[in-house]
A and B are shown apart, each in its own frame.
Chain A
Amino acid sequence: MIRITTLLWVALLVIAGGTVMHVSYQVRHVEKHLSELNRDTRSEQDKLRILSAEWDTLNDPQRIDTLSKRYLTLEATPIARVIALDAIPLKLTDDQVAKLAAATPAKGGKTLASQTASKKPDVLAKAPATQAVARPAATAIPVVARTVQPQRVDDVGLILARMEKHE
């Protein structure tokens, strides 16, 4: 009886000891993994900071301004070309066109109404309310200088290249 109990205790002790050792090794392993992850996270964070600095260097308005002046023929839209939606005349009905045409004397004393009546042209084109915007004479399309894109100053990016130069 005593022997069985003793054996049982010994077995339990061995199992407990084994479990503790196993858990302890596992913890050590997991901790190592965690520290690796932490190191990687820090390294990624550092890289992210460099990339974010690089992004804002590339997005510097001054740089974009210079590049657009060098490679594009686009220019800022003058504010005079921007109008509110309400200011755009809507398409008139035939009745309104006729009324407007009758009220507007055309060249040579004749009213527009008499002209439109005989020729039945595109009434909208002649209606004074929808005067076509004077289009500039067709000019040659400016040729965009197709220069090779500027090469990256350095494989590590602008910001690091600048750093190396400064120090």
Chain B
Amino acid sequence: VTFDPNHIPFEGVIGSRVSGALPESVGQPSSMVVTVEGAARQTLEQARTRLVVVGALFGLALVVVSGRLVDLAVMGTASSTHAHIALPAANVVRADIVDRNGHVLATSIATASLFADPAKIIDPQDAARQLTGLFPDTSYGDFLEKLQGKGRFAWLRRHLTPRQQYAVNQLGIPGVGYRPDERRLYPEGREVAQVIGFTDPDSQGLAGIEKSKNDYLAGGGQPLALSIDVRLQHMLHREVQAQIDEFQAMGGGGLIMDTHTGEILAMVSLPDFDPEQPNAQPAPPEGEPDPHFNRMTLGVYEMGSIFKVFNTALALDSGKVKLTDYFDAFHPIKIGRFTIHDFKGDELPGYSSVAKIFEISSNIGSAQMAKQFGPETQEHFMDQLGLTQKMKLEVPEIGSPGVPHPWRFINMLTIAFGHGISVTPVQLVSAICSIANGGILRPATLLKLPEGAAPHGTRVITEETSDTMRRLMRLVVTGGTAKKFGEVPGYLVGGKTGTAEKIMKGAYAKKHANLSSFVGVFPMNDPRYAVFVTIDEPHGNKQSAGFETGGWVAAPAVGRVISSMGPLLEIPPVDQESPVIQAKMEIDVNPVGRHIAPN
């Protein structure tokens, strides 16, 4: 044992502990030192170092904890003063769909679905008999088959109401049970079916908005607000149905659009279906309309004379034609084996002004006007109006327009009066809005836009041309093809009729296969809404004196819709006799101008 006090601090303590007694208790002097050497000393040294390190770590941790405590208690830097409790997750997850005023169009409710574990069913025959007594619309055989199945799980019936659930419990059948489920409901029933679409029993969207917005809706969250207004939807639905009934038509459709924002306020396609039982009706026979087919977005049609709005707007906007020009609207145009002529009895004698051609809806006159600007300009303009491309809209059912390729001279002549190009009604009404609203085309939408917001649009015609077009469209209702049918006292309605022969299997159909349409815009002095109605294969009756044209068939429905929706939307009526209004709407149908001869 060596003795080296200079190298070992605390030697007294270590020494005395080694010796097994405390220094005080043995009464030894503090200078008494015992040291260890060699391996033992090294071990002690190591233990001591470890102790110091561990002690330091614990001390540090304690300082951190104390610091945080002081921070929370004294400094008060904690971010929140409230405790947060997570709300219980609702049973139902799929989000609602509401209209622009918050009226529910589609909602989900929690239900219970009944299943069976066939392995646990004691008496399948008795169970099936009892269940059939409760649900008479399901047959005994169906229940029995499920109850005798080989698996361990079979749905007996989806979506029971609480009352039915209670009744099943009363039966006390062992081996049946419930699974929480959700069921999609459509409080509006058929009226908005084409827009909303429907879901399968597992609440997955299969059509319409339910399909296109499935990811959003399935994620729960805030209700999805559409641009639709159920009140207008009902008015339009009612009036289109009335025309279909009156003219024994096979179908029809309608649209109401905000001319400044492109929002679709109502969209009707008839026949329709019940979205809660989408497959209740058997598939229609060949030639009959399919209730699931949305005519307004998926159907593409030749719109007939409504296209004269675009033709006239282009003629005036291009600068090639002036309002004071006169064209030969009398002699049919012969080109190849085709002849362009007007309805018998409607022919205009000799030369007619642009306004007169538009008012009377002359095919010959329109084609003569188109000759002034040529096919290329027309194709470019139709492109600008969005009539040549598949449109964008928030439903999956969208039709591609039928456009000529190549766009030849003969195509130009027929497109001037709306034949040889087929578009969806939504595209057509969007384009009409752009002509009437001052010349800005905005994309159509089914989603509600924030109040006062107008989406970015593109200019298609000048404001001046748009002003002239408003006067011309007003003229159609005051004196032209929609005279007395489209008029609504108090509101300045303007518009254009269209009667197109339907194409069936690649050829124009025989008589009695027309598509009669009218698009109305109001108030014409400051357009706010466009209302479109089309009736498929109307049959003229006594009241319409046998006529089945757009003016006789579709325009009255538009007039009735406007007279109901105007007061609802608080649109003030105007005095049609007032000089201010007259100045805004007046147009000279017999101006002094040049006569342009057909070449």
Contact = CB atoms under 8 A, between A and B. Distances in A.
A78 interface: yes
B148 interface: no
Nearest to B230: A61
Contact of B567 (A45, A46, A82, A160): A82
A163 B161 contact: yes
A49 B162 CA distance: 14
B162 A167 contact: no
Given A49-B109, A80-B573, A82-B573, A167 B187 contact: no
Interface in A31-79: 38-39, 41-42, 45-46, 49-50, 52-53, 56-57, 59-62, 65, 76-79
B90 A160 contact: no
B283 to A, nearest CB: 19
A83 B490 CA distance: 9
A74 to B, nearest CB: 14
A159 B564 CA distance: 29
Contacts of B573: 79-80, 82-83
A52 B88 contact: no
B594 to A, nearest CB: 42
A47 to B, nearest CB: 9
A162 B91 contact: no
Nearest to A40: B88
Given A61-B231, A76-B564, A45 B91 contact: yes
B64 to A, nearest CB: 26
B238 A65 contact: yes
Contacts of B234: 60-62, 65
A77 B161 CA distance: 42
* Residues of A contacting B: mostly: helix
Interface stretch (B100-108, B169-177, B531-539): B100-108
Interface in A135-162: 156, 159-160, 162
Contacts of B350: none
Interface string B155-180: 00111111110000000000000000
Nearest to B87: A41
B162 A57 contact: no
B572 interface: yes
Contacts of B157: 167
A84 B570 CA distance: 12
Interface string B225-249: 0000011011001100000000000
Contact of A60 (B90, B189, B490): B189
Contact of A159 (B163, B187, B238, B489): B187
A94 B445 CA distance: 59
A164 interface: yes
A166 interface: yes
Chain A, interface residues (CB within 8 Å), range: 20 to 34
A77 B567 contact: yes
Contact of B490 (A39, A57, A59, A80): A80
A164 B160 CA distance: 7
A79 B567 contact: yes
B117 interface: no
Nearest to B161: A160
Contacts of B233: 61
A41 to B, nearest CB: 6
B488 interface: yes
Contact of A166 (B90, B160, B277, B491): B277
B462 interface: no
Nearest to B159: A167
A125 to B, nearest CB: 25
Contacts of A59: 103, 187
A79 B189 contact: no
B183 A76 contact: no
Nearest to B111: A163
Interface in A74-105: 76-80, 82-84, 87
Given A46-B91, A49-B109, A60-B187, A167 B563 contact: no
Interface in B548-586: 563-564, 566-567, 572-573, 575
B92 interface: yes
B526 interface: no
A56 B567 contact: no
Contacts of A57: 187
B6 to A, nearest CB: 42
B110 interface: yes
Given A45-B90, A52-B104, A79-B489, A62 B191 contact: yes
B379 interface: no
A57 B107 CA distance: 11
B161 A76 contact: no
B171 to A, nearest CB: 17
Contact of B187 (A53, A78, A160, A164): A53
A79 B187 CA distance: 30
Nearest to B183: A163
Which of A46, A56, A83, A166 gathers most chain B CB within 10 Å? A56
Nearest to B491: A79
B276 interface: yes
A46 B572 contact: no
B88 A38 contact: yes
B317 interface: no
A42 B87 CA distance: 10
Contact of A156 (B90, B91, B161, B489): B161
B159 A163 contact: yes
A31 to B, nearest CB: 12
A162 B563 contact: no
A37 to B, nearest CB: 8
Nearest to B201: A167
A159 B163 CA distance: 13
A1 to B, nearest CB: 19
A65 B236 CA distance: 13
17 contacts: A45-B90, A46-B90, A46-B92, A56-B104, A56-B188, A60-B188, A60-B191, A76-B563, A79-B489, A79-B490, A80-B489, A82-B490, A159-B109, A160-B162, A162-B276, A163-B185, A167-B160
Interface of B: 87-88, 90-92, 103-104, 107-111, 135, 137, 157-164, 183, 185, 187-189, 191, 230-231, 233-234, 237-238, 276-277, 488-491, 563-564, 566-567, 572-573, 575
Given A156-B162, A164-B161, A167-B160, 13 more contacts: A41-B88, A50-B109, A60-B188, A60-B189, A60-B191, A62-B188, A76-B563, A78-B490, A79-B567, A80-B490, A80-B573, A159-B187, A163-B159
Interface of A: 38-39, 41-42, 45-46, 49-50, 52-53, 56-57, 59-62, 65, 76-80, 82-84, 87, 156, 159-160, 162-164, 166-167
